[in-house]
Structure 1
Amino acid sequence: MEITTTELGLAARVQHLTKTFGLGDSAVRALDDVTVGIRRGEFTAIMGPSGSGKSTLMHVMAGLDAATSGRTWIGDTEITGLSDLELTLLRRRRVGFVFQGFNLVPTLDAIGNILLPFDLDGRRPSAVERARVDGLIETLGLGARLGHRPHELSGGQQQRVAIARALATGPDLVFADEPTGNLDSRSGREVLSLLASASRDRGQSIAMVTHDPGAAAHADRVIFLADGRIVADKPRQSAEEISAFMLDTEIAAALGGTALGSDGVRA
């Protein structure tokens, strides 16, 4: 009998994943035979230099992009080969997203943006869901800003609205793509604390792509990518430890691509 990802404790996983852009001599392999899972109730950071494949990995895991080869699951649902409509419904109901650019609808006020996932699903929030939304609004300090449109909010306030929207439906899995990239350091720390709290207090699985060692230090687990491959998978790390490993990886690459094992030790 096949072991499901639910039994494995995984919120998402990919198996032997390869992603290639372009054809022929100009083809670029962004992901090269990647197998990895996002554990339930854990805050995972996916790190790597520019061009390492970290954003591509997130997009494929979230069903926003298709792999060239390999298989992808969200929970115990294999999404490889699902139609665009099936993927849209799955993402809407089971996955939340937080982006660097906030991605708020400019014509909607804050509460309209927060409730957008319900509107897109053609329904109103249940009493339980409305209580969750009200709790998020209070926790995020947005009560006085609900009637404001995005251009009337600071960057930190916009990102808090985006987090409330991502968590409003209570998704098992939240993908965050450089969520602090457009924020000042104080707002960035607040956002990271909110994501960590969603994992710690609500049991939600958070997968965050970042190039910032300080941001990754908030995570329970740090996955490092380089040249489309996972080169290390480590438990919680300090910003200094993450920076040192990233530097070591870059030096190894400069010296001719010396391989690093999954524990971060040169092979």
Structure 2
Amino acid sequence: MGLAARVVGVSKGYGRGQSLVRALDGVTVGLRTAEFTAIMGPSGSGKSTLMHVMAGLDSVDSGEVWIGDDDITSLGDSALTVLRRRRIGFVFQAFNLVPTLDAEANILLPFDLDGRTPTSEEQNHFLTLVDRLGLNDRLRHRPSELSGGQQQRVAIARALVTRPDIVFADEPTGNLDSRSGREVLSILSDASRNFAQTIAMVTHDAAAASMASRVIVLGDGRVVGDLGPSSAEQIASTTLRLEQSR
């Protein structure tokens, strides 16, 4: 199995001198293609920084960042913008839908931003996604007319519709009730399993992480755990043990 994204010896700090905070400290880790990976760790462990660096949203102080076989470490802003638009999908805790657009227009927004219309194959993929996500009767609704769970499903469809190399989800269930949260996690798991999408989800929730097939645990800017499929109890126990040993 190849790697959809990887970092090699990456370090990233914020601030200077006495106020320097080392968010990542020589991290080397890869995200395997078509795998659903959860990234966990306590507040300040570096998990969000790792996601932002891998997605080309933040630069690194040292080390290398790769998307597939392409080294993106030194790409300029315009090149990174195009790369993110065409090869990376995002699902945010706050949904980030355009309030003036209906659900269909929000889902298809990546094509508009890229200045093109979907091919017939891409249109069929859109219809498949909409059907699988239960959004057929919500396509003409604006975000304000949708529940939180429905808005997040629209955001997931938008992230998946162009079949990007990798989808990053930042605390995607944080603003949802437990039922909607479980639905969203199931959808992300299905996207990995049925569409061979690579999903990387940042979360602090062991129950959410248990839906993933791999759990990477960060502590003090370093990878301190790398688990296979695990129950919520196993994940919580492991993360607690790792925190206590710091």
Q: Say whether residues 1:54 and 2:47 are aligned partners.
A: yes
Q: Find the partner of 2:178 among 167, 180, 185.
A: 185
Matching residue's letter, 1:67:
V
Q: 1:135 aligns with which of 128, 135, 138?
A: 128
Partner residue, 2:229: 236
Pick the aligned partner of 1:219 from 206, 212, 216. 212
Give the match for residue 69 of structure 1: 62
Aligned length: 246
Q: What stretches of structure 1 move > 6 A for 4+ residues in a row?
A: none
* Matched residue, 2:86: 93
> Who wins on radius of gyration, i.e. which is larger?
1
- Which of 16, 22, 32 pairs up with 2:25? 32
Deviation, structure 1 residue 246:
1.5
3-state DSSP of counterpart to 1:198: helix
The offset of 1:223, in angstroms, is 0.4
TM-score normalised by the chain length of structure 2: 0.98
Q: Percent identity?
A: 67
Hey, what's the Cα distance between the residues in 2 that align with 1:30 and 1:227? 7
Listed as ranges, the gaps of 5+ residues in structure 1 are 1-7, 254-267
Aligned-residue offset at 1:152: 1.2
Aligned pair partner of 1:160 in 141, 149, 153: 153
Letter in 2 for 1:136: L
What TM-score does the superposition give when structure 1 sets the normalisation length?
0.91
**Cα deviations across residues 219-257 of structure 1 (Å, max 9, x unaligned)?**
11000001100001111110000111111122223xxxx
Shift of residue 147, structure 1, vs aligned partner: 1.2
Q: Cα RMSD (Å) of the superposition? A: 0.8
Q: Partner of 1:199 in structure 2?
A: 192
Name structure 2 gaps, 5 residues minimum.
none
Structure 1 stretch displaced more, 244-253 or 201-210: 244-253
Candidates 138, 146, 153, aligned match of 1:145: 138
